[in-house]
Amino acid sequence: MNEQQSSQQLADIAVVGVGVMGSNLARNFARHGYRVALYDQRPENVDTLISEHGDEGEFVPTRNLDELAANLSTPRRALLMVPAGTATDAAIDDLVEAFDEGDILIDGGNSLYTDTVRRERAVAVTGRLFVGAGISGGEEGALHGPSIMPGGPRESWEFIRPLLESIAAKVDGTPCVRYIGANGAGHFVKMVHNGIEYADMQLIGEAYHLLRHGAGLEPGRIAEIFREWNAGDLDSYLIGITADILETADPDTGAPMIDVIQDAAGQKGTGRWTAKEALDLGIPATAIGEAVFARALSSSTELRAAALTHFPTGYLADFASLGISVEEFIEHVRRALYASKLIAYAQGFDLIAAGSAEYDWKINPRDLAAVWRGGCIIQAAFLDRIDNAYEKLPELPSLLLDSYFTEELSGLLDSWRTVAASAIQLGLAAPVFSSSLSYYDSLCSQRLPAAMVQAQRDYFGAHTYHRVDTEGVFHLDWTGDKSQQQRR
């Protein structure tokens, strides 16, 4: 560092990758009084940020990583906002070379948690510190206050904590950021957050679909319904933006915007990751899995077009055949939506608990409730209830066993069944409503079909079984003399 550099004020943090998210996070830091160094492989991105928002705070544009390192106070802290995958690996390698021991690299992208585990180990060998931080809230959250889920070496937390707490969303004055756990814990939690988001979005879509194509309501009326719902138990970010969407008209045709958008949902992979992880850990996150499959099916446009031509539907002629009024149906849908959302969140928390146990992260579920209360896509009023549940019993096996949620679900059950049955009768797909109810019924069943499955496994593969009336592991000679052998 030369004399001129040592005399100037150094930046508090760097943002590497100044796209939409990186740009807004940099502006957020600057608005909170931090001096922010900027680097992007496309220098014009840095120039655009400076020209359009340079008056929002102190920015230090740099043209290469050596210049970036020279303009940062130590320990250096750099937030990477580059595409997940090979681009992230390349950026990490370059920063490790430019930085010194003790400096901190923070990956704020949607990286797969196993990549984060690998990267943390590799960076640790060099003496640098690597943090995988899940960041939720989209571009608006990045600018005005996101939900942040950092994981990595605990010693890095105190060096990045003031910066992250300052830019995070605040609920009742509390920042929506907590240290989650070692290595990949932060990105694992963000992955499951996105899985819950998939389920939540699909459920809201199914509720809209039933009201629109079942009850025959127009988008404007459904917008009013969602506004009303957002003032009660369903108060959440996604319910609020759904009302906004349904109130919006297409600027070109004047038709409801929802009617001109093709019904084929995209995905970037985090929902699939969550479903795969649930399978690997043996957690029945059925709501998330069904939501992922629903997006995939919606995008199978050629198959859907062929089916529409060749398949009979067999649905009822009209809504009146259900024998309930429209107002009654609206309330049934509200209650079924609430019940199904509770299932999705409970399954997500179950998956995080399993991941925490598998990788010894010691994740505190109350931290998740606190972090998700604001700034993120799945923020919802009932997260306070989730916090209360884990405060009463930190080792709670499932949210659904908390007295509040047990009582809530029991009161919602009749409406839940009415909506699932109505969807079937009307020929309207509601996969997450239905699978969530099936999950609940499975938990409450004294006997499941699994006895038949296990008998079949023993029949064709000698996979053994347990008896209900005695201890031990058994195999039956199904095709011979029907003798039963006890096995260790």
Here the tokens at position 417 are 């069944």
Tokens of 317: 């002629």
- 105 forms beta bridges with 78, 130
Let me know the angle formed at the C-alpha of 450 by 434 and 448, rounded to the nearest 5 degrees: 55
Residue 127 backbone zone (phi > 0: left; psi -120 to 50: alpha; other: beta): left
For residues 417 and 279, give the distance between their C-alpha atoms in angstroms, rounded to a whole number: 27
Contacts of 328 (CB under 8 A, 6+ apart): none
Burial bucket for residue 81 (CB in 10 Å: 0-12, 13-18, 19+) = buried
Of 350, 360, 351, 447, residue with least CA distance to 402: 350
Within 10 angstroms of residue 174's Cβ, the number of other Cβ atoms is 15
Q: What are phi and psi of 386, to 5 degrees?
A: -65, -45
DSSP string, 63-120: SSHHHHHHTB-SS-EEEE-S-TTHHHHHHHHHHHHHS-TT-EEEE-S---HHHHHHHH
Extract the tokens encoding 402: 């908390």
Task: Enumerate the active-site residues.
Answer: 190, 197
Residue 132: name the closest of 90, 188, 74 by CA. Answer: 188
CA distances from residue 487 to 81, 262, 312, 464, 472 in whole angstroms, order as listed: 56, 57, 51, 8, 7
Beta strand 13-16 with 36-39: parallel, antiparallel or unpaired?
parallel
**DSSP string spanning 219-249?**
HHHHHHHHHHHTTTTT-BHHHHHHHHHHHPB
Contact (Cβ atoms closer than 8 angstroms) between residue 331 and residue 417: no
Helices and strands, number each (H, E), in the chain: 21, 11
Task: Report how far residue 379's alpha carbon sits from residue 169's, in angstroms, rounded to the nearest whole number.
Answer: 11
Cα three-residue angle 243-247-251, rounded to 5 degrees: 140
DSSP 56: G
Length of the chain measured in residues: 488
d(CA 466, CA 448): 14
Q: How far apart are CA 405 and CA 409, in angstroms?
A: 6
